[in-house]
Amino acid sequence: MKNPIKPKGLIAAPFTPFNGSGNLNLSVIADYYSFLEKNGITGVFINGTTGEGVSLTGREKLQCLREWAKCMKNGGKMLVINLVGGTSQKDCIEAALNSRDEGLSAIAVIGPYFFRPDDEDNLAGFIAKIGESVPDLQVYYYHFPAFTGVKLSMHKFLEKISERLDNFAGIKFTFEDFYDFTLCQDYKGGHYNILWGRDECILPALATGCRGFVGSTYNYAAPLYHKLIDAYESGQLEKARMLYSKVVALISLLSKYGGITTGKAFMKIAGIDCGDFRPPVRNLSASDSKKLMEDIKRMELLQYISQK
């Protein structure tokens, strides 16, 4: 892509809202969109890991896409990036075409995680076929080897995909390899948009020059990250390190109470009820939810929770 749009700041990976029966609760999304926008979020990365995309049917993902796109059409300013899938190329193409039809300007594709590509050229060929179906949309690759098992060099992948897909825009880089990450940032003079995907490593990512971040905790702790970024960019490194310690403390609560499911508990505290996660993810008990709130207060994190 000649001039890919490079969104800066915080891009939230939103949770998919469910009702008490475990079905989509689409009525929450308009309020959710406004909530994120009010808290300074610049974009959303929908139907991804946080959004339980792999636990949704194709129809459900399309319904979510339409609701988020509707918010944008109704005057919303946040960029919407739709994760179109990763295992079935034909499904990915269908979802990409749906994204185009709903007015999106960007999609993402995750690495095939059952039959995995054996090298960077094979992966580039898989992604290129999907991207060619929507030549007017920006295409991102979602690099998440901890979940997909696709452990390839992203720098070498960029070399391959740049020759095959004109509308390739960049990578959501969810891996702690700062060497490969920096090579990608510098490739072709920084032409591609390399978005950082590990919330718990945001300060080191800032030090590499990165200014675009995709993550789940931005849904409910945006004020903390805004303060950290502002401190870093104004040269207040001690303040930035102090705020980074708060980031680490907050994320430690995710590990303590069961990982990703804790995020929906945080959302309830922030005023957006997204329901529970679908099986097999284990949801927080009422007792653990109470203990989580006690920990948030004890660790003085409540001041950093996003406001409705």
Residues acting as catalytic residues: 142, 172
User: CB 63: neighbour CB atoms within 10 A?
Assistant: 16
DSSP state of 173: E
Degrees, nearest 5: CA angle 93-184-123: 35
β-bridge mates for residue 12, sequence order: 44, 215
Q: If 0-12 CB within 10 Å is exposed, 13-18 middle and 19+ buried, where does residue 107 land?
A: buried
CA distance 92 to 83: 9
Percent helix, strand and coil across the chain, each rounded to 5? 50, 15, 40
Q: How is residue 15 written in tokens? A: 């949770």
Read off φ and ψ for residue 95, nearest 5 degrees.
Answer: -65, -35
CA distance 291 to 283: 14
- Closest alpha carbon to 131 in 176, 101, 100: 100
Q: Tokens 């929770």 identify what position? A: 305
Read off φ and ψ for residue 214, nearest 5 degrees.
Answer: -120, 125
CA distance 47 to 94: 15
